[in-house]
Amino acid sequence: MTRPVRARIDLQAVTHNLSVVRQAAPQSRVMAVIKANAYGHGVIPVTRALMKADAFAVASLEEAMQLREAGISHDIVLLEGVFDPEELELAITHQLQLVVHCEEQVSWLEGFKSGASVHLWLKVNTGMNRLGFSPQTALAMWQRLQRLSYVKTNCLRWLSHLACADEADNPLNSTQLVRFTEVTHFSETLQGTGAERSLANSAALLTRPDMHFEWVRPGIMLYGASPMASNHELEVELQPVMTLESRLIAVHQRAKGETIGYGQDWTCPQDMPVGVVAIGYGDGYPRHAPSGTPMLVNGKTVALAGRVSMDLICVDLRNQADAKAGDIVTLWGVGVPVEKVAQHVGTISYELLCGVTSRVPRFYQSN
């Protein structure tokens, strides 16, 4: 019998979540963010479930080439652009769209000759203070890119990234919107028509329709996790895409006072059943998850007991006294939201989903 840990990927849920995006931003085109192996879900099957998106966004040329080699011809945006001038020719040969966020990239483009039309996204730093041109320098960069013979008028677009969109009431959100609107207005003045723009990530897509513009960039919501801080109730229903599960491989009766696992970190408060589950940090279950982190055994909530080891965890089965070896354990997904687990662990759902390792087989289902 093979080791029972697995990630079940519901592709119908992916399609449903994309429909939620369409309903929330009906006037915008959708750039689906599928970087980091589609947030750990498996980029090729997920991308094929998202073929009704208008474009895809990835972090690197390698990620984009994986899609092209799989026969995916959609528009693909490199969110960090290219990393050296040698990548430019390959990126443009494969019709990739480039985010331009630094003057070096502008210089590389100025030194490049192409007979094809190249689509560029000029990134402006409106408050994230990570990548992008300041509003004071963005216009000069726009003018330099506009002079390139292979960049047609409708092939130059604006992009920025929000720092606090998951906090709907954070005043920086409106500040970033004002900065973005002001700087992108210059392109309309220069070319007589407005360039296409993209600002809204998943959180802004659901809470700030004034940020939708021509393109929205959903990421985490496509995978069924809430993009909002923990105290914010969503008005839409997202469906979890990944259900991470394993099985109990042993159940033992332990006496009051016995300790469980490495470091004697957890002590049985009474005579009780303790289960052993075939999953650990070698599979991507977080090592720093504290005792009490919830999971399901046969659909009922139980709690982590003791430290997470590489291949195994132990669970408190007092709520499931009849549990036995072979019973299904759900670590997150249907019935136990990944964001709820993330709150207990002190992290975010993005990290948990992306962290599921390659030794965990993914099983894809469409219904």
Cβ(288)–Cβ(270) under 8 Å?
no
Indicate if 350 belongs to the active site.
Answer: no
Which of 35, 223, 281, 350 is the catalytic position?
Answer: 35
Indicate if 152 belongs to the active site.
Answer: no
Which of 52, 152, 256, 262 is the catalytic position?
Answer: 262
Catalytic residues: 35, 262
